[in-house]
């Protein structure tokens, strides 16, 4: 089958996957004690009153309108069905958490770019560092550099992100030994010019920049170096925490793959043809070592998304992770459903990309 049919099939498979994900999260929420649920949906309104007045949420004078998203009187499957219909209409519901209050779509557009900034920088850094380092140690197994590399990667593997993050915070942020990095937020409020420039949309203390919504990129595009620097300083510690775990994983796999493919016959063939050692390592050993590495990339991406949740919590970094955690703690059904949907979508798409790259790098794979 051709590659595009494979991609099409996988994109179609997205639908049942995400539907399953939503049903699971929804079911988990609906199995919570009813009172807890009602309380989170209608803060401050007694249980019975909520039921009676469900349809007229506006009358209750809540800060936002429930707009009929929640239908407590209906059976659960119908409730879910109505939610899905609203989802397609662009109404993902509402949420109230400490860092945000408003529509879920609004929350995602505000916080997702920050997370994207972290994840993209961390992935690029991890790949750029791990491939040469992994190649280096993989080409000299059981030498001193390999042992050093092994210790380095095992630490990265073993140390949980929240431990590393906390250590980094304790050492490098305010009150630490070397207080050079800020400790919270994606950028300091003081770094934003007053009044905010036209490319910054502000609502309260939240800002959305255009055109890319990623503050670092946008501030560079508009030549605001001060804000760019400030944002960069805020991202360094969380990025480092994320990168280390990711890097260790990729490096281990490249190293193992290199040691394995160095033993293969075709490497001997290449050497017997007079191919210089440097090119043997780069073209013959490493290219084959990258295949298993790319296979596990899908898993590594999943762990990266998990890591983002923890890292943002530790560094109070306003991103999707922090949003998800707060939504879960406050039992905000729509908040959790919405963020889960986004995470699920990213994970599935990332795995699709991994599979396509896999097919490109290994001619034996045909879809």
Partner 1 sequence: MIVEEENLKKIENYPYLSVEGLVTQFFTSGGIVKALDGVSFNIKKGEVMGLVGESGCGKSVTATSVMDLIPDPPGRIVKGKIIIDGFNIIGDINKLAKIKVKSEKNVIIKRNRKLIKRHNFILSKIRGRTISMIFQEPSLSLNPVMSVGKQIMEPILLHNRIEISNSIIRRETITKEQIRTFYTEALKIKDAMERRKYVNQWTNMFGVAESQDSILELFNSQASSDQIERDLENFLFGEIEGTNLRVIEKVRDYYKTQEELFKLHTTLLMAEENADSELIEKISMEIRNLQRKSNKELFGFKITYKFLRKRIDIPYVKEARRRALELLKLVNIAGAERVIDSYPHELSGGMQQRVMIAMALSSKPKILIADEPTTALDVTTQAQILELIKELKIVTGTSILFITHDLGVVAEMCDKIGIMYAGNLVEEAPVNDIFYNPKHPYTIGLLKSIPRSDVKRGDILESIPGSVPNLITPPSGCRFHPRCSFKMDICETNKPKLVELDDNKNQKVACFLFSREVESSE
Residues that bind partner 1 (CB under 8 A): 142, 263-266, 268-277, 283-284, 287-288, 291, 361-364
Q: C-beta of 9: minimal distance to partner 1 in Å?
A: 24
Nearer to partner 1, 52 or 277 (CB): 277
Rounded to a whole number of angstroms, the minimum distance from the CB of residue 364 to partner 1 is 5
H-helix or E-strand spanning residue 95: strand 94-97
Give the nearer residue to partner 1 in terms of CB position, either 125 or 291: 291
Closest CB to partner 1 among 183 and 288?
A: 288
| Least Cβ distance, residue 38 to partner 1 (angstroms) | 59
Comparing CB distances to partner 1, the nearer of 2 and 273 is 273
Q: How far is the CB of 150 from partner 1 (least distance, A)?
A: 17
Q: Which residues of 5-40 are buried (b: 16+ CB within 10 A; e: fewer)?
A: ebbeebeeeeeeeeeebbeebbeebeeeeeeebbbb
Residue 352 to residue 331: CA distance in whole angstroms: 32
**Quick one: 260 or 362, whose CB is closer to partner 1?**
362
Structure tokens at 304: 């990266």
- CB of 361: closest distance to partner 1 in angstroms? 7
Omega prior to 211 cis, within 30 of 0: yes
CB 251, min distance to partner 1, A: 21
C-beta separation of 137 from 255 below 8 A? yes
Distance, CA of 132 to CA of 135 (rounded, Å) = 5
The answer to whether residues 287 and 258 touch, using CB atoms and an 8 Å cutoff, is: no
Q: Measuring CA to CA, which residue among 284, 228, 230, 217 is closest to residue 257?
A: 284
Other Cβ atoms closer than 10 A to 123: 21
Residue number, 122 or 139, with CB nearest to partner 1? 139
Compare residues 144 and 177 and give the one whose CB is closer to partner 1: 144
Angle at 59 between CA 32 and CA 326, to 5 degrees: 35
Q: How far is the CB of 269 from partner 1 (least distance, A)?
A: 5
CA proximity to 56, closest of 47, 65, 46: 65
For the bound state, the minimum distance from the C-beta of residue 367 to partner 1, rounded and expressed in Å, comes to 15
User: Is the Cβ of residue 68 or residue 276 nearer to partner 1 in the bound state?
Assistant: 276
d(CA 360, CA 367): 11
H or E segment to which residue 258 belongs: helix 225-262
């Amino acid at each position: 089958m051709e590659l595009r049919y494979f991609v099409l099939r996988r994109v179609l498979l997205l639908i049942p996957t995400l539907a399953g994900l939503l049903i699971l999260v929804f079911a988990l929420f609906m199995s919570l004690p009813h009172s807890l649920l009602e309380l989170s949906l209608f803060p401050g309104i007694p249980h019975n009153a909520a039921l009676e007045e469900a349809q007229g949420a506006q009358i209750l004078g809540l800060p936002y309108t429930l707009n009929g998203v929640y239908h407590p009187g209906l059976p659960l499957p119908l409730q879910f069905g109505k939610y899905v219909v609203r989802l397609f209409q662009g109404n993902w519901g509402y949420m109230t958490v400490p860092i945000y209050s408003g529509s879920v779509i609004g929350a995602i557009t505000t916080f997702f770019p920050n997370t994207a900034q972290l994840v993209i920088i961390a992935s690029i850094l991890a790949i750029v560092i791990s491939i040469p380092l992994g190649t280096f140690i993989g080409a000299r197994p059981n030498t001193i550099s390999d042992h050093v590399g092994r210790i380095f990667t095992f630490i990265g593997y073993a140390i949980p992100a929240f431990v590393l993050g906390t250590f980094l915070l304790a050492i490098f942020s305010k009150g630490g030994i070397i207080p050079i990095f800020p400790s919270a937020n994606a950028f300091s409020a003081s770094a934003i010019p007053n009044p905010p420039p036209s490319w910054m949309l502000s609502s309260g203390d939240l800002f959305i920049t255009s055109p890319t919504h990623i503050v670092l990129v946008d501030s560079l595009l508009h030549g605001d170096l001060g804000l760019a620097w400030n944002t960069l300083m805020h991202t360094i510690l969380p990025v480092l925490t994320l990168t280390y775990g990711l890097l260790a994983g990729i490096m281990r796999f490249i190293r193992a793959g290199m040691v394995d493919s160095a033993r293969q016959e075709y490497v001997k063939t290449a050497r017997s043809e007079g191919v210089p050692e440097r090119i043997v390592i780069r073209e013959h050993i490493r290219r084959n070592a990258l295949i298993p590495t790319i296979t596990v990339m899908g898993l590594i991406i999943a762990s990266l998304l998990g890591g983002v949740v923890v890292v943002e919590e530790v560094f109070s970094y306003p991103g999707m992770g922090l949003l998800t955690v707060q939504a879960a703690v406050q039992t905000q059904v729509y908040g959790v459903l919405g963020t889960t949907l986004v995470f699920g979508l990213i994970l599935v798409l990332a795995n699709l990309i991994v599979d396509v790259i896999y097919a490109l790098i290994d001619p034996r794979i045909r879809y």
